[in-house]
Structure 1
Amino acid sequence: MTTPTYPSNKPITEIFEATVQYANEKDIFLANKINIALIKDNSGSSCWMIAAFQDISEINKKPHEIRAIHIYLPRYQLHGRVEMFPALPPEAPIINSASYFRIVNIDYEKKKSDELIYLGKTGVIKYEWSNDFKSIEGNIDLNTLDENKAPININGHFYLSNSGQHSI
């Protein structure tokens, strides 16, 4: 896998797309917002957090569900094929892990919702940063369990610009 180099005046087409296979149904995850940030993992090591979000809503309405995939990668590693570690809760991320989230039952008036957190159990991520860490592309195959212990498999690909939080 190679990361193309783009002149600064050429637009980059970003994508983060995945198939989310539940026990009895399949969804397509197509991110409309991303955030790439340098953070510290639970051991204090610097790492990249790639957070992709999909707002699900009717036209001209606020989202009624928000889905997210979070990936944590080493700060200084340009590329790799990594067997993922089991994820820890979001407040204690661990390098080389990923998780899937769903925010449902959103009540904007009461400012309440339910957050379903599916911590990654196993998986593989193959990725490559550009030499200047301004873009990343890769593939992810993530396995987790739903609240009933039924398997969820997330298989996707991404090409993203490292420009902080933005819409794609």
Structure 2
Amino acid sequence: MPAMSDVLLSVGRLNYVWTNTESLLIYIIAHLLKVEKEAAIVVFLTLNTTRARIDLVERLAKLPSTPAADRKAVLSAMSRLKKESKMRNKYNHCIYSFDEKGEISSTQLMRLVEDDKEIRYGKIEQMDDREMELLDKSIGEIVNISKALWAFIHASPRIVAL
């Protein structure tokens, strides 16, 4: 079982790389809407969820006015980002259970699952070495998505001018 300090450090890194990567959507929004950065910031901050921001970027990329190469690059990055959002959401919307030594032993999701006959909540998953590997892999993938977005931003003269 990983030490609590290792889990918290990894969750902190996950949040750090996620926030930095999500903020790059400002430049993508500016590019796709053909507006200045300040206007894109207003749009970005008006949409108060990650999901809404990704949905907007995907929808803008699908417009006929978006060049095919831009559409492909943006949709690819958004697909990857959505996949990694599951890990981010898991660790930002869970409670932690501790063992007798005070170490994090498992996570419990704070989500309801309801059908016609019952309601369930809190899928429990062990916090073990395998889970830490998945967390580290997700952090690495988010960093790679960030690099891909930066490459796209730098390749577009209009975005760089912002």
**Into which bin does the TM-score normalised by the smaller protein fall?**
under 0.3
> Of the two structures, which has the highest relative contact order with CA contacts closer than 8 Å and spacing of 6 or more?
2
Bigger helix share: 2
TM-score, length-scaled by structure 2: 0.23
**Which structure features the higher share of strand residues?**
1
Structure whose CA Rg is larger: 2
